[in-house]
Structure 1
Amino acid sequence: MRGGTSKGVFFRLEDLPPATQQAGSARDRLFQRVIGSPDPYAAQIDGMGSATSSTSKCVILSKSRRPGHDVDYLYGQVAIDKNIVDWSGNCGNLSTAAGAFAIHAGYVEAMPRDGICTVRIWQANIGKTIVAHVPVLNGQVQETGDFELDGVTFPAAEIVLEFMEPADDADGDGGMFPTGQVVDALEVPGIEMLQATLINSGIPTIFVNAADIGYTGTELRESINGDTTALARLESIRVAGALRMGLIHTAEEATTRQHTPKIAFVAPPAGYTASSGKRVRAEDVDILVRALSMGKLHHAMMGTVSVAIATAAAVPGTLVNLAAGGGARHSVRFGHPSGQLRVGAEANLVDGQWTVTKAVMSRSARILMEGWVRVPNDSF
């Protein structure tokens, strides 16, 4: 299925081979073989992946045992050329497809024949609730429509996602700012002290100013992903942020935790030409954001980082908020390599601590194919 600007291979839990219905090495090996990883050629020719972090993904859904939820959603990010399946975070884009797949798979009992079906999803990786509002027609998911999403070629039906209480407690203190500060100074090897906003909302994310690391915020994939020196420097910032956030205890641990945290850089509005050739005007956005996924600049924007952007923009004084002009705001329009997107969040200061009740965004999803995927018997 495609969900937002990502796509992945979706399974019902009960359809998996018995040995892979539980977490463990057998499940990891199965998903790696399905996708075609680890592949030293970084092409995933012998699998269903498409050699990008946005398309190297597997999802398991099952009927939820949690009260008030329809479906449990578990997501695995399969590394392309490394022997890793990372279960440490969610995929916000595929959360859209999870809502649609829950209906396709027969997991949603109470649904209208026509209109909007509300699907309550338990995101099992991070222990959070996501509410997907999925259009249905004649008792089936409506996939066609006129909703356009930059980074996706064709229009489709709009699915609205609500990420409920998305702030993550990565360090055990219950706050979405793990250090207690909205801006920190990071010590990065080879770089002087670097300002950063470290936030746990949607997914742990490290925001830095584009200008502080030599960028404008208008960069496209080609200008960064072919520069090994730049990628290594960005990874060193990610590692420093992960250490400060308490997500890892040693720098070496970062090699086995590629999916989280994310690293992103922000800049004030400026005009640029998106990867599709579309012109994005400075007056059409509030901020520019570029984010990396699995060590590469993302072609658009991860849904989980969109939640982090919305949350950080709503909190005065964060680097995201300042780059967007400062002050109080409930939504933000940001420019990314493929175009632009509007996201919203409700943040409040309670007893001296920032909290967020929900973040909202729109995406779309559809089935690309369904049937059997074949793997050798000795794969798992």
Structure 2
Amino acid sequence: MQTSANASHPKGSVWTDPKVRAWIFQILAVIAVVALGWFLFDNTQTNLDKRGITSGFSFLNNSAGFGIAQHLIEYTESDSYGRVFVIGLLNTLLVSGIGIVGATLLGFILGIARLSPNWLVNKLATIYIETFRNIPPLLQIFFWYFAVMLAMPSPKQSLEFGSMFFINNRGLYLPSPSATDAFTPFLIALVLTIVAIVFMVRWGRARFEKTGQPFPLLLTSLAMLLVIPGLTIVLWGNPLSWQIPELKGFNFRGGWVMIPELIALTLALTIYTAAFIAEIVRSGIQAVNHGQTEAARSLGLPAGKILRLVVIPQSLRVIIPPLTSQYLNLAKNSSLAAGIGYPDMVSLFAGTVLNQTGQAIEVIAITMSVYLAISISISLFMNWYNKRIALIER
């Protein structure tokens, strides 16, 4: 019987070796994926040839021929589609960057307020979270755009703040800075001050670890930032000159302007994402062992320092992974800008450029690649930060 079994299943059979089987299945999977990709590519190329549609990315050099409401770099209607792509990318990064910073700050404040022993603060934070996280972001974008920004007064009846800031149904007008001759020494002094502060912080922490004596790092750093660059202003003058927006005719001229679409989109994404971040912060804080806070209280630390020095640093290890997902969601939700006409990647490039050129495959491939690159960049940075703050066993 043993001889028969060995004959039917030889010891060196390929299918009895798990490693060999794993390699065979992986090779077959790769072959299947490559074959499917080639089939799709060949089928697409054949259909394009039948319809006389040219493929390739040469269209990026053609003149766009249309205007763009907001562009962070110089642009004219005679510029190429390639420059339109860059403008759409910068506008997407602008919304994502402002939204991530704003949602993080607001989310942390709300998350801490959610745990406040003050009944009113706790309930207000709860109402905010339960309200805004259960309303679709597109509806919130519509609310801020149609019900708030477009309902603002006309430029002649603008809401004025300090004779420098003006808001109306055409946007928010801000003073714009321009460098003077004193900007270079001011910048050099600022950079040197920051470098000195970094070394001072490291020295202060090492001193505290060695002697247990704290050093007033925050107050000293603020004093250095005020005094050293301030001396350059006294010696060389103001490093910046400001251009104040002025009402000329039917609209304001000069300064910077945030168009209504940008304000509505940024507010909606910030407020929406902050509600989710607040719950992440709340759960992260509650994940910290209660004995940690009791030990800190027994040492006589005030509540503020307990939160800043004991609770938050430990809770970050729980907060960072889900926080990364919210950053990714915010960056991808910025594509909802197409609903109100903000010139981001989807609205500008995958919308207007695609309709004018007909290069659907190329345009969609570029747009998808941009969002993939943004998401991977955010993930890599957050994973690096998560590893840096992770607990290291000794």
Task: Check whether TM > 0.5.
Answer: no
Q: Which bin holds the TM-score, normalised by the shorter protein?
A: under 0.3
Q: TM-score, normalised by structure 2?
A: 0.21
The structure in which a higher percent of residues are helix is 2
The structure in which a higher percent of residues are strand is 1
Give the structure, 1 or 2, with the largest relative contact order (CA under 8 Å, sep 6 or more).
2
Choose 1 or 2 for highest CA Rg: 2
Q: TM-score, normalised by structure 1?
A: 0.21
